[in-house]
Structure 1
């Protein structure tokens, strides 16, 4: 890496750390970070009395590990997408474009920010989960290592998707529409019930996208090996998890830079002013 790129990476990393710190400054941001996780934990507490098939294992505990995988996917896709849409409208991207290697530094900053927020989200679910739910098997170095590589590979697989999606929305208010298909993917990804119990078409669709594999990877890290019997194929399928998430990562890393460069070329002061004018017209 050349000296200018190193300087841009350092600047971007500092910006990412600053934005991460700013995420805990206002009550609104803190509430937005905590409230969804409280809702998820509450739902899973009510699921503790149910069991997974004939195993006798708590459905709430199984769902806890799946939800952690889902949260990684949400942070990788939705948070990146929303940040990109907002900062495209407020001129942040235009300023980054005007600086040598500014877009590279911008992307480094987003990686640092999203990775930090994802770790915080994971901790907010996992720490109380260890107290509230029985049967979590994070008691070996291998289990923690699996959790770590699934987390890293999951972020690499989903963040470029979020960047591509974010480049499609000039208005951050319309980016919320992407929640509908994402929630549809959650419904067919076996997050709250084993996908092996779903219809064949749902199993096929769910296994195409990263959310299912992130949930499976987290379950393999956090649950006893005997629970693999309720999964498709009766195993944790680590190699398949690496393969599918790795494929999404390669596709995203190839497409995202090109999409972002194209978006940056279209950014100008006139385009930003036009978006602001349209926003003011909607308000009035």
Structure 2
């Protein structure tokens, strides 16, 4: 087994261990449960409202948008948060000092975040399908395969961007600068209410980013064809959805390696010590 293969294997194992820790650590588990209950509560209380111009439940129509927003939010902030924390505690420096350590490190983080995304979708989707069994996934297996394809593309479109943004942060506290714009995008991307109810200039801004298109792609996978009347141009627009998500994938995959290499080159024992000293001063 050559060194790169060993690093990949080690990264896969590390990613699996980190993923399991999120479901065995009480603090992480409580956070997951509370967040999921909030989402389920939201769609439950919206069950009696309907999409404008249709008889479809607004709660059911909101489920795919929430899943898409979760992919974007966790893909961006999850990858960025991991990098910021690991820079502060010296994990990244140790990976850099190990032969092919960065390869193993990035493999592990990719596996951990991806598995977290898949499990998060399942935990939210299963009770929603039970609640809205007559509305969600009307095409059965094809609906779930369609959803899986959108999910995979969404991960590729968001995780590299998250890693690139994380490489630009100076501390774990500064990741809040990433969270706020993502929350703003959620407000204008048609997650909780059809985007057609918003001004056209706001719709244009939302369509420049992946959150709207992920929500649209997931709605096309999980909702009946009749629900399309609430969409822009009354169409699921599969080709534009694929084109925009692929464009963001290309941008992320082009930027992330360059920025991560630059970040790794700048990591040194002195920089880790300085960040720890600043953190201790904040605590004190």
Can you give the 5+ residue segments of structure 1 that lack an aligned partner in the other structure? none
Once the two structures are superposed, the pairs formed by residues 230-249 of structure 1 within 5 Å of their partners are: 230-249=230-249
How high is the TM-score relative to the length of structure 1? 0.96
Whether the 8 Å contact between 1:73 and 1:210 is mirrored in structure 2 is yes
Can you give the 5+ residue segments of structure 2 that lack an aligned partner in the other structure? none
Q: Answer yes or no: is 1:189 the counterpart of 2:189.
A: yes
1-side partners of 2:264 and 2:153: how far apart?
27
Once the two structures are superposed, the pairs formed by residues 46-195 of structure 1 within 5 Å of their partners are: 46-133=45-132, 134-195=134-195
Whether the 8 Å contact between 1:138 and 1:144 is mirrored in structure 2 is no
How high is the TM-score relative to the length of structure 2? 0.96
Whether the 8 Å contact between 1:89 and 1:275 is mirrored in structure 2 is yes
1-side partners of 2:283 and 2:149: how far apart?
45
1:32 Cα deviation from its structure 2 partner = 1.3
1:149-187 Cα offsets, whole Å, 9 max, x none, are 100000000001110111122211221232211110001
1-side partners of 2:193 and 2:281: how far apart?
45
1:138 Cα deviation from its structure 2 partner = 4.6
Matched residues, number: 283
Q: Answer yes or no: is 1:217 the counterpart of 2:245.
A: no
The aligned residue for residue 271 of structure 2 is: 271
Once superposed, what is the RMSD of the aligned Cα atoms?
Answer: 1.3
Q: Answer yes or no: is 1:21 the counterpart of 2:25.
A: no
1:3 Cα deviation from its structure 2 partner = 3.5
2-side partners of 1:58 and 1:139: how far apart?
18
The aligned residue for residue 283 of structure 1 is: 283
**What SS does structure 2 have at the residue aligned with 1:136?**
coil
List structure 1 segments (4+ residues) > 6 angstroms apart after TM superposition: none
